[in-house]
Amino acid sequence: MIMRTKTSAAVAGIAGLGLLLAACGGDDDGGSGGAEAGPATVRIGYIPGPAPAMNLLLADERGYFAENDIEVELTPFQTGISLSNALTGGSIDIGVMGAVVANFPARGQGKLFLLNNLEADIQQIWAAPDSGVESVADLAGTQVATTTGSAAHLLLHVALEAEGVPAEDVEIVNLDMPAVANTFVTGGIGAAALWAPFDTQVEEQLPDATLIATSADYEEAAIAGGWVANNDFYADHADTLARLAEVWLRSNEDLTADRDAALAEACPRLEEFMTVETCIEIYGKTQTFTNDEWAAYYEDGTALDWVGRMEQVFVDIGALPEFVEPEKYFDTSIYTDAVGS
């Protein structure tokens, strides 16, 4: 956990409150409010990367939460695993994260209800100069640093399988992602599976390193991040979840209609973690969809299939004990109902 910010409905957008109170009845007070009427307060943890966080930060920046009678407390986390633990422990109501949306919810720890985009080139596998590694196939018999159970680990597993390298022939060195990058650029290990923006550190400090694979190279490595509610919040605050979906629809419409303007406004919110230019570059590596396209993917099972493929990899790498049908932990109705309304 790094920092906490708070956006108040009273400050960020009074104009929409009357309409939403009338429409919603004011009977759902969110994660930390009392029984009295007032804006729902929702504690949202997020991964401070452009792919998982952009819809969230743009909505906050443009006051869409406030206009939907929601007050948010935003807390960034280094990894989806630490965020999921906070979500399960109850200190966070909603987690906005990457591939881990197909892990902890499959264990019964939270409900997935929104997807953001597909992450294309964001997860990457790098080889150090003089490591003798020029391709994924060359990783056999080597050590690879990554964060186990993460999206980068997912890519590594899919790539090894696709190239015919038995997973047991590669020794995984489990580190948090900043340590993965630092160990790699300082010569402590010959290969690393990481995610942007840590590739910038590699390019700057180890310019002769070789990028040998990205998630865009393997269809099975497609990463769909999203929004997960903890079990209590999901059970008790259906109205707030519906309003969060409405907020998401507005920010996604902005991102697909005028991406440049949206990123120029939201990327400065990540300046503690990366430059605006890096933020824009990373978001350019995502595959985004309009609200209507997402509705079709939710309705025809494509979205469930994406989540199921990620979950299967977690099972394959031992991060999950068994496969659970995504319908049991991914509530697609929250999005489809919001589109329909």
The C-alpha torsion from 76 through 82 and 88 to 92, rounded to 10°, is -10
Domain boundary among 205, 221, 237: 221
**Could you tell me the residue range of the domain that residue 82 belongs to?**
5-119+222-340
Return d(Cα 122, Cα 269) in angstroms, integer: 19
pLDDT at 15 over 50: no
> What's the pTM value of the predicted model, to 2 decimals?
0.82
Q: Using CB atoms within 10 Å of the CB of residue 152, give its burial: 0 to 12 exposed, 13 to 18 middle, 19+ buried.
A: buried
Domain boundary among 201, 221, 241: 221
pLDDT at 120: 82
Check whether residue 140 and residue 281 sit in a common domain.
no
Where helices occur in the chain by DSSP H, the ranges are 9-12, 17-24, 50-61, 64-67, 80-89, 151-162, 177-185, 198-205, 231-236, 238-257, 259-266, 276-283, 291-299, 302-316, 333-340
Residue 66: pLDDT band (50, 70, 90) is very high
Check whether residue 211 and residue 269 sit in a common domain.
no
Check whether residue 331 and residue 268 sit in a common domain.
yes
Check whether residue 62 and residue 112 sit in a common domain.
yes
Check whether residue 107 and residue 226 sit in a common domain.
yes
Return d(Cα 23, Cα 13) in angstroms, integer: 17
Check whether residue 51 and residue 196 sit in a common domain.
no
Domain boundary among 172, 192, 221: 221
Q: Which pLDDT tens digit goes with each residue over 274-319?
A: 999 999 999 999 999 999 999 999 999 999 999 999 999 999 999 9
The structural domain count of the chain equals 2
Q: Which pLDDT tens digit goes with each residue over 238-283?
A: 999 999 999 999 999 999 999 999 999 999 999 999 999 999 999 9
Check whether residue 50 and residue 179 sit in a common domain.
no
The single-letter code of the amino acid at 51 is: A
Range with lowest mean pLDDT among 14-28, 99-113, 166-180: 14-28
pLDDT at 37: 42
Rg (CA), the chain: 20
